[in-house]
Amino acid sequence: MRPADTVAPVTDPYLPGESSDPAARDPTAAVTDHVRRSWDRETLPRGDEKRQVVQQMFDAIAGRYDLVNRVMTFGLDIRWRRHTVAELHLEPASVVLDLASGTGDLCVNLMRAGYRPISIDLSLGMLKADRSGAPRVQADILRLPIGPAAVDGVTCGFALRNLVELEAFFAELARVVRPGGRIALLDVGIPSNPVIRWGNGIYFGKVVPRIGALLSDGAAYRYLPKSVSYLPPPAAMLAMLNDAGFVHVSHHFLSGGLTQLLVGTRA
């Protein structure tokens, strides 16, 4: 299976001719004080507003996203992504969509594992910062420009909590992944150990926003810790995956529950 068989032609965000508007070419240029306030808030956005806020926020922080990740996780994010790819258990040269791909870290891991990744993200700023070399597509991952049963697997890193409709996302995964294909979905977790949970709450809620303010956008890194509350309990997410058409679904806490990984096989 070739990537060209499964997706529409990819337009490189760097190619000229798409738009003469500087704001369209550089998404961060369009982030005004008004827009910035859209994620600098106490309450969390919902519905279509959430989609817009997430897209604008990630456009704004794309330039230093990798640096902040490495610093705030002490490099553990590298280990978590490797673990995610290792859970796919697919044949070499399998076509794998990396959804909400960001700057392409998971794509790099996928290529090193012998897979053929396709990077898909709603944020043009993130896609422009992607240096993985994988084909890139700007798209809403709730409405993928991919045919039914067209790919062998899917990865997604730290994006479940940013989606408007989690059940719709799982249904979309079931639509595009072939029978027997695999998914591996990584996101932040809430540790079950009360001591670790207390320490993580202080670090994630108080220290991470200060790191973000120092290195990138303070408002964005105040929003991201709060966004964990969007995630349903693990049992509920496993039930959603079963209902969507996945079997052998399982949930794993990594690093004492700092992150969590959902894996499954398309029935």
3-state secondary structure of 239: helix
User: How far is 50 from 136, CA to CA, in rounded Å?
Assistant: 23
Question: For residue 244, which amino acid is it?
Answer: A
Residue 203 located in a structural domain:
no
Residue 45 located in a structural domain:
yes
Taking a C-beta distance cutoff of 8 angstroms, is the pair 256, 197 a contact?
no
Taking a C-beta distance cutoff of 8 angstroms, is the pair 118, 153 a contact?
no
Domain count, the chain: 1
Question: For residue 120, which amino acid is it?
Answer: I
- Residue in this structure with the two tokens 């991201």, named with its chain if needed: 224
3-state secondary structure of 216: coil
Which pLDDT score is estimated for 129? 94
Residue 212 located in a structural domain:
no
Tell me which residue range forms the domain holding 110. 3-8+21-193+219-266
The distance of Cα 241 from the centroid of its chain, to the nearest Å, equals 17
User: How far is 191 from 263, CA to CA, in rounded Å?
Assistant: 19
- Return the biggest CA–CA distance within the chain: 55
Residue 15 located in a structural domain:
no
Residue 16 located in a structural domain:
no
Question: For residue 181, which amino acid is it?
Answer: G
| 191-193-198-202 Cα dihedral, nearest 10 degrees | -30
- Render each residue's pLDDT in the chain as its tens digit; 267 residues: 434 344 443 433 333 233 333 344 444 444 444 445 566 666 677 788 888 888 988 898 888 888 998 999 999 999 999 999 999 999 999 999 999 999 999 999 999 999 999 999 999 999 999 999 999 999 999 999 999 999 999 999 999 998 989 999 999 999 999 999 999 999 999 888 899 889 988 998 889 889 988 988 888 888 877 788 789 999 999 999 999 999 999 999 999 999 999 999 999
Alpha-carbon separation of residue 36 from 28, 32, 71, 215 (angstroms): 10, 6, 23, 16
Domain with residue 89: its CATH number is 3.40.50.150
User: How far is 244 from 60, CA to CA, in rounded Å?
Assistant: 33
Residue 211 located in a structural domain:
no
Residue 225 located in a structural domain:
yes
Residue 202 located in a structural domain:
no
How do 177-188 and 246-254 pair as beta strands? unpaired
